[in-house]
């Protein structure tokens, strides 16, 4: 067997630590305090998110996996042989295996994730299971520009499952997709998972699971600040809060202060009122048509779309112009 370090190509473009500090100080200086959601995914956060994906209430992962399994032959036919698959936010690289098993002689898999340990482990495991595949792992913040390996003989396909696109505002999503469209121009495509608008009670349950894993995931941000930025948050004085904002078509996620208190981060003090919220994430939901219009405005030609029987989740194939 090849030694681990030869199985994959690994590039460490992880953002420096001061970015987290800057983001927290800047975010806490705003009238509506906020922390960008990408910081949820430290080591522990990534583990908790993998747990969320297994929860009975969290339907997106299960539904998207079922869609991939059911329609992957159609997806593979549209993609063709020797493709270069680039996954943004590859996590444990579970979903991509379903696709790889259906593709005709896939050439390369480029996994991009901000969580270094999970990325390396998952890429090595994948390289062992797919010995013919060139596996490249890039630890990077994919919302910023970073270099990609050159395209191969087949189609370049960006794989962006999990409805992570919903964690951007619609304007940010359009901007992000426009950048992708530019990277993929000349015959490339994007296969993207998008969570659909639905009965708010189903959405509410997905972000307020009965075991409290989602709460732990959200509050882990405070633990991370305590550890990495010398914070003094007492986690018992905060709670997880998530609800559907119907007018804006999105789940909004906050950490709520249970009392009036002062907290310190890196020697700076911040005041929080009772009931004051720190915004940690939005998860925008789209109808199929809303998303196709957004993709079109971003410079893609919306092609096939796959939806489950209950209309919970969608997978879109977008072609770059």
Q: Which residue is nearest to ligand TRP (CB)?
A: 283
Least distance to ligand TRP from the beta carbon of 101, Å? Answer: 24
Neighbours of 128 (CB within 10 A): 14
3-state SS assignment for residue 301 = strand
For residue 7, give the nearest of 166, 121, 171 by alpha carbon. 121
Cα distance between residue 23 and residue 50, in whole Å? 25
Residue choice 28, 39, 109, 207 for contact with ligand TRP (CB under 6 A): 207
How far apart (Å, rounded) are the C-alpha atoms in residues 27 and 36?
Answer: 8
Q: Is 217 in the site for ligand TRP (CB under 6 A)?
A: yes
Task: Check residue 162 for interaction with ligand TRP (CB under 6 A).
Answer: yes
Secondary element (H or E) of residue 272: strand 268-272
Burial of 77 (0-12, 13-18, 19+ CB in 10 A): exposed
Site for ligand TRP in 237-266 (CB under 6 A): 253
Pick between residue 91 and residue 188 the one whose CB is nearest to ligand TRP.
91
Nearest-angstrom CA–CA distance, 137 and 132:
16
Handedness of CA 138, 143, 148, 153 (dihedral sign): positive
Q: Determine the size of the site formed for ligand TRP (CB under 6 A).
A: 17
Q: Is 164 in the site for ligand TRP (CB under 6 A)?
A: yes
Question: For residues 114-153, which are near ligand TRP according to CB under 6 A?
Answer: none
Q: How far is the CB of 75 from ligand TRP (least distance, A)?
A: 21
Restricting to residues 276-305, which ones interact with ligand TRP according to CB under 6 A?
280-281, 283
CB closer to ligand TRP, 66 vs 301: 66
Strand ranges (E), the chain: 9-12, 84-88, 108-113, 134-139, 156-160, 189-195, 238-245, 250-257, 261-265, 268-272, 277-284, 300-307, 313-320
Per-residue x/- track, 98-117, ligand TRP (CB under 6 A) = --------------------
Q: Are 265 and 28 in contact (CB under 8 A)?
A: yes
Q: Which of residues 27-86 bind ligand TRP (CB under 6 A)?
A: 37, 40, 52, 60
In the bound state with ligand TRP, the residue whose beta carbon lies nearer, of 51 and 134, is 51
From the list 63, 115, 167, 314, which residue makes contact with ligand TRP (rule: CB under 6 A)? 167
Question: Environment class of residue 115 by beta-carbon count within 10 Å: exposed (0-12), middle (13-18) or buried (19+)?
Answer: buried
Which residue, 37 or 173, has its beta carbon nearer to ligand TRP? 37
Per CB under 6 A, does 93 bind ligand TRP?
Answer: no
Q: Binding residues for ligand TRP, per CB under 6 A?
A: 37, 40, 52, 60, 162-164, 166-167, 207, 214, 217-218, 253, 280-281, 283
């Amino acid at each position: 067997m090849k030694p681990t370090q030869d199985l994959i190509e690994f590039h460490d473009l992880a953002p420096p630590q001061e970015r987290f500090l800057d983001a927290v100080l800047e975010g806490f200086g705003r009238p509506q305090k906020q922390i960008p959601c990408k910081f949820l995914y430290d080591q522990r956060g990534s583990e908790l998110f993998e747990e969320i994906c297994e929860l009975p209430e969290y339907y997106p992962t299960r539904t998207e996996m079922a869609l991939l399994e059911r329609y992957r032959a159609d997806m593979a036919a549209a993609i063709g042989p020797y493709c270069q698959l680039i996954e943004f936010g590859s996590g444990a690289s579970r979903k991509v295996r379903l696709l790889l098993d259906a593709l005709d002689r896939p050439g390369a898999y480029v996994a991009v994730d901000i969580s270094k340990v999970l990325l390396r482990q998952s890429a090595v495991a994948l390289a062992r299971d797919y010995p013919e595949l060139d596996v490249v792992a890039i630890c990077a913040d994919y919302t910023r520009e970073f270099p990609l390996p050159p395209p191969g003989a087949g189609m370049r396909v960006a794989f962006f499952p999990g409805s992570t696109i919903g964690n951007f505002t619609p304007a940010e999503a359009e901007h992000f997709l426009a950048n992708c469209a530019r990277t993929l121009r000349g015959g490339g495509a994007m296969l993207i998972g998008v969570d659909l608008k639905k009965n708010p009670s189903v959405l509410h349950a997905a972000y307020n699971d009965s075991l409290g894993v989602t709460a732990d995931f959200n509050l882990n941000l405070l633990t991370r600040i305590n550890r990495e930025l010398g914070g003094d948050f007492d986690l018992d004085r905060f709670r997880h809060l998530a609800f559907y904002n119907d007018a804006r078509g999105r789940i909004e996620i906050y950490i709520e202060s249970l009392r009036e208190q002062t907290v310190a981060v890196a020697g700076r003090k911040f005041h929080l009122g009772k009931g004051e919220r720190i915004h940690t994430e939005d998860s925008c939901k789209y109808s199929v048509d809303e998303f196709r219009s957004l993709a079109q405005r971003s410079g893609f030609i919306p092609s096939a779309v796959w939806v489950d029987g209950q209309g919970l989740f969608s997978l879109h194939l977008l072609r770059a112009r």
